[in-house]
Amino acid sequence: MKSQSEEKKYMPEISQKEVEELRKTITATSQKVIAENIKRMKKTDPNRPEAMQYFDEIADFVTREKEILAAKEEGKKVIGYMCLFAPTELILAADAIPVRVNSGWYDASKLGDRVVPVEVCPVVRSTIGAKMIALSPYLELSDALISVLTCDGMTKLGEILSDYKPVWAMTLPRVKDSTQSLRLWSDEIKAVKGQIEALTGNKIKGKQLKSAIERTQKATKAFRRLQELRKGSPVIMGRDAMLVNQTYMWDNIERWTEKTEALCDELEKRAQQKIWACPPDTPRVMVTGTPMIWPDNWKVPTLVEEANPQGILVADELCSGERLLYDPVGVDEWSMSDMLKAISERYLMASTCPCFTSADGNEDRINWMLNKIKEWNIQGVIYYVVRGCMLYAMEYTRVKKVLDRINIPVYYLDTEYTREDVGQMKTRVEAFLEMLSARIDI
């Protein structure tokens, strides 16, 4: 008989030999995919900004893994999270390293099928699969995980991963604009602060928290600057900007900020010299829906930007993209209670995740999109949903009605964590872009 502590609630027994073999194969595929993605991004824009080189390097998983490993040897703790509601400022203030651990590996989702049915969202299945074979360095290096109870998939994912790691579940209220919701969420923030302190052994003091908030505000500033640069004629391809955005999820925050500012400097110069990443009349597209995660789940941006006729992604409404860092924490007084209040409000109120509803529905998401469409001059929207992603799938009907009224074409693109449907998706994406080009012709 196994002891209670060894007994896994969900995870099946899997031999070390199989783990090793699968990890080896999938890691090799992953490295190939990373190299291929970057090669294709370079091909799409042969005159790609020089500052992109840093982001290409940090996108390889290995570089950052080594750094985090070294930091851990010096006693630093790593705290992983799945959803964007995890208050990274508190993690940074305790001198720990925040990393997002959602998996973008297609092959890992097939392993997840051994634990949960195939109807479950592939982001969840893939993260389970990644854990089974220790595929994700960031998940492996995490000393604890923050699991925010957002959609059904994420709620149970945390529970499943607790077979391996301490998991701190945070209850997220579904109605965000009510005083009782904010009260509950503030209590959750305080509780997770205690857990972070206990794990790291570092008491979070005002000075450290202020510094963490300020460092994150600086990152937000660089992040927003990059998105602002995508408003005009194309100075950067969507995939390149998306890669920059994604690397924030695992990179060192100060260095990421510095490198992003450097990229923006380069882009500003290019804009002045009218050096464009693609012809300025290329149809401008926004993507919204299920998060798209590096490296495998890069097929939609690739299809759009390599299509004939070509499109360019100038904005997104994705929690793996522009929603990552768009909104800063706004602090009036730098007291501990005010800072915690500001953090609670930022993480709750700024989110446009479809797990929320209220009397007027998830109005904030609609408004975000309408603002983007207007300000970023977007001509069409791709609404991307993976099978099993119920909340995004359900909100489509409403989004479509709103966009129909303002005469913005939107296409519902459903897919899976697989490479095999790229041909079918290409047909649809190209028809959509053809439609947008025809409109531009008139």
Partner 1 sequence: MITAGIDLGTQSVKAVILKDGEVISRGKAFSGFDPAKAAEQAVGEALKRAMLSLSDVNHITATGSGMDMAPNSNSTISMMGADAKAGVYLFPHARTIIDVGAEEARAVKCDDNGIMVDFIVNERCAAGAGAFIEAMARALEVKLEDMGPLSLKAERASPINATCVIFGESDVVTLIHRQESKPEIARAIFDAMADRVSSMVHRLGVNPDVVLVGGVAKDVGFVASLKRKLGVDVLIPEYPEYAGALGAALVAVKRVKKV
Is 206 an interacting residue with respect to partner 1 (CB under 8 A)? no
- State in angstroms the smallest separation of the CB of 51 from partner 1: 35
Does residue 412 sit in helix, strand or coil? strand
Kindly tell me which of 226 and 381 has the beta carbon lying closer to partner 1: 381
Kindly tell me which of 140 and 395 has the beta carbon lying closer to partner 1: 395
Kindly tell me which of 377 and 424 has the beta carbon lying closer to partner 1: 424
Task: Give Cβ neighbours of residue 326 (< 8 Å, ≥ 6 apart).
Answer: 220, 223, 224, 227, 350
Q: Count of residues binding partner 1 (CB under 8 A)? A: 18
Q: Using the rule CB under 8 A, give the single segment among 181-189, 258-266, 351-359, 420-428 that binds partner 1.
A: 420-428
Do 394 and 298 meet the contact criterion of CB atoms below 8 Å apart?
A: no
- The candidate with the shortest Cα–Cα distance to 103, out of 249, 255, 245, 251, is 249
Q: Using the rule CB under 8 A, give the single segment among 116-124, 293-301, 352-360, 405-413 that binds partner 1.
A: 405-413
d(CA 44, CA 287): 19
* Inter-CA distances, 312 with 9, 206, 234, 308, 440, Å: 45, 44, 8, 12, 14
Residue from 11, 76, 414, 422 that binds partner 1 (CB under 8 A)? Answer: 414
Q: Using the rule CB under 8 A, give the single segment among 31-39, 84-92, 291-299, 432-440 that binds partner 1.
A: 432-440
- Compute, in degrees rounded to 10, the torsion defined by CA atoms 323, 329, 330, 332: 170
Kindly tell me which of 182 and 435 has the beta carbon lying closer to partner 1: 435
Is 117 an interacting residue with respect to partner 1 (CB under 8 A)? no
Kindly tell me which of 203 and 401 has the beta carbon lying closer to partner 1: 401
Cis-peptide, bond into residue 295, ω within 30° of zero? yes
Is 118 an interacting residue with respect to partner 1 (CB under 8 A)? no
Is 262 an interacting residue with respect to partner 1 (CB under 8 A)? no
List the x/- string, 373-402, binding to partner 1 by CB under 8 A.
------------------------------
Task: Give Cβ neighbours of residue 415 (< 8 Å, ≥ 6 apart).
Answer: 299, 300, 384, 385, 386, 387, 421, 425
Is 65 an interacting residue with respect to partner 1 (CB under 8 A)? no
d(CA 245, CA 25): 28
List the x/- string, 292-311, binding to partner 1 by CB under 8 A.
----------------x---
Residue from 62, 268, 421, 440 that binds partner 1 (CB under 8 A)? Answer: 421
- State in angstroms the smallest separation of the CB of 168 from partner 1: 38
- State in angstroms the smallest separation of the CB of 232 from partner 1: 27
- State in angstroms the smallest separation of the CB of 111 from partner 1: 22
Parallel/antiparallel/unpaired status of strands 410-415 and 380-386? parallel
Task: Give Cβ neighbours of residue 322 (< 8 Å, ≥ 6 apart).
Answer: 227, 245, 315, 316
- The candidate with the shortest Cα–Cα distance to 289, out of 363, 347, 373, 354, is 354
- State in angstroms the smallest separation of the CB of 396 from partner 1: 10
Do 235 and 263 meet the contact criterion of CB atoms below 8 Å apart?
A: no
Do 87 and 192 meet the contact criterion of CB atoms below 8 Å apart?
A: yes
User: Contact residues for partner 1 (CB under 8 A)?
Assistant: 308, 409, 411-412, 414, 421, 423-424, 427-428, 430-432, 434-435, 438-439, 442
